Structure formats: structure tokens, C-alpha cells
Amino acid sequence: MASAPVATGKDRSLSTTEGFICGGIAASIAVCTKAAHFKNTTQAIHSNLQVTVSNPAEVAKTRLQLQGELSKGGGEKVYKNAIDAFAKTWKNEGLRGMQRGLGPAVSLVCS
């Protein structure tokens, strides 16, 4: 029985999504560790992870709020609820759409 080849770290390159996530986290940690109020790298990692995980909920909330304002003026509603906003954003925009506005959120945490 032949075994399948095992991919090592050198044989496999990062996908676009993996590179996007790793690059963003590395850059935000580098910026945050230079901020005066972070005592160590662990605090910077925790703060950045917290913002990254909670950001999709902020995106859905903002889109629903804007939709409510636009519908007052006669605009049509695109999203039914928060779950629908998540699903449509993921389907149409992918990871970048779900993390839209992450840069300003991270800079707020790091300032």
C-alpha cells in the first residue's frame, strides 16, 4: 500500500486567505507592541485577536443600521436580519468583506 506524500512547510505555500490573515495579524502586533500602554506581546496579541473576532459582528451591525437609514428615504432593504447580513457579505465579498474596517478598529485598540 502506497502512502500519500506528506506536505512539509517548504512544499506548501500560503493561500490568499491565510496570507491575508497572517500578514494582518503580524502587522497589527508589530504596531501594537510599540504602543506605550501594552506591557508585552501577549497583551497585543490578545487585543488584536479580540478585535479580529468581533469585527464581523460590527460589520453586520453597521450594514443593518445603514440599511435602516436608507430605507427611510425609499431605498429597498437588502438584509432581513444579522444572520442574513453575515451570509450575504460572506457570499458576495468573502473574508475581506467580513473584516471591512479592521484597520481603523486595530488602530483604535493600539492608540
Dihedral through CA 65, CA 69, CA 70, CA 75, nearest 10?
A: 100
pTM: 0.62
Closest CA to 93 of 59, 65, 57: 59
As a whole number of angstroms, the distance between CA 70 and CA 86 comes to 19
pLDDT, tens digit (0-9, with 9 covering 90-100), for 5-34: 445 555 556 566 666 666 666 666 665 555
pLDDT, tens digit (0-9, with 9 covering 90-100), for 43-60: 777 788 888 888 888 888
As a whole number of angstroms, the distance between CA 87 and CA 98 comes to 10
Whole-number mean pLDDT of the chain? 75
Contacts of 41 (CB under 8 A, 6+ apart): 29, 33
